């Protein structure tokens, strides 16, 4: 079990990440992304997913969580470039958001990442979840989500 120690150490340092920086996440600033990716849900901030996730999402839009979200190639490529350039690990940056995400794992949902689960599990009442409809509906519980504010 040579991985036990590093994972335990990570869990220990990852806990305070959101006490300090997680309440704010730069909202989408790119016009085309804002327009095209907010039709069915909020335009999720690029900094919530790693580069490989955005690439995967942007190259599988014909089957996007059961919907067809296809775009013309020029818009698709422009949006992918914006999301990748602003991703959690852009420019080799490390991010507490990638806590416990294996390098060969490509999360497609923010709401299924380990940090997300540890922030939300046990914090959300079933009444609130029912009202929101899904954990992907950030703005239902975080009224400042469009401005990048995710505090209570």
d(CA 6, CA 12): 10
Q: Does 98 help bind ligand HEC (rule: CB under 6 A)?
A: no
Nearest approach in angstroms of CB 49 to ligand HEC is 6
Q: Does 120 help bind ligand HEC (rule: CB under 6 A)?
A: yes
- Judged by CB under 6 A, which of 16, 67, 117, 147 binds ligand HEC? 67
Q: Which residues contact 136 (CB under 8 A, 6 or more apart)?
A: 41, 109, 110, 111
d(CA 80, CA 71): 11
Q: Does 137 help bind ligand HEC (rule: CB under 6 A)?
A: yes
Which CB sits closer to ligand HEC, 3 or 121? Answer: 121
- Judged by CB under 6 A, which of 16, 29, 41, 85 binds ligand HEC? 41
- Judged by CB under 6 A, which of 18, 34, 56, 81 binds ligand HEC? 18
Q: How many helices (H) and strands (E) does the chain have?
A: 8, 0
d(CA 150, CA 80): 24
Kind and range of the H or E element at 4? helix 4-14
Per CB under 6 A, residues contacting ligand HEC are 18, 22-23, 36-37, 39-41, 44, 48, 57, 64-65, 67, 69, 79, 109-111, 119-120, 123-124, 128-129, 132, 134-138, 140-142, 150-152
């Amino acid at each position: 079990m040579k991985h036990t120690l590093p994972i335990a150490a990570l869990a220990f340092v990852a806990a305070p990440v959101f006490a300090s920086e997680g309440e704010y996440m730069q909202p989408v600033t790119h016009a085309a992304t804002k327009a095209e990716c907010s039709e069915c849900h909020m335009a999720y901030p690029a900094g919530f997913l790693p580069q490989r996730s955005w690439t995967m999402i942007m190259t599988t839009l014909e089957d996007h969580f059961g919907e067809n979200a296809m775009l013309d190639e020029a818009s698709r490529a422009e949006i992918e470039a914006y999301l990748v350039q602003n991703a959690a690990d852009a420019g080799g940056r490390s991010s507490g958001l990638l806590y416990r995400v294996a390098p060969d794992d490509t999360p497609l949902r923010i709401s299924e990442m380990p940090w997300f689960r540890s922030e939300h599990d046990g914090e959300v009442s079933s009444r609130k979840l029912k009202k929101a409809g899904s954990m992907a509906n950030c703005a239902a519980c975080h009224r400042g989500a469009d401005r990048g504010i995710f505090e209570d």
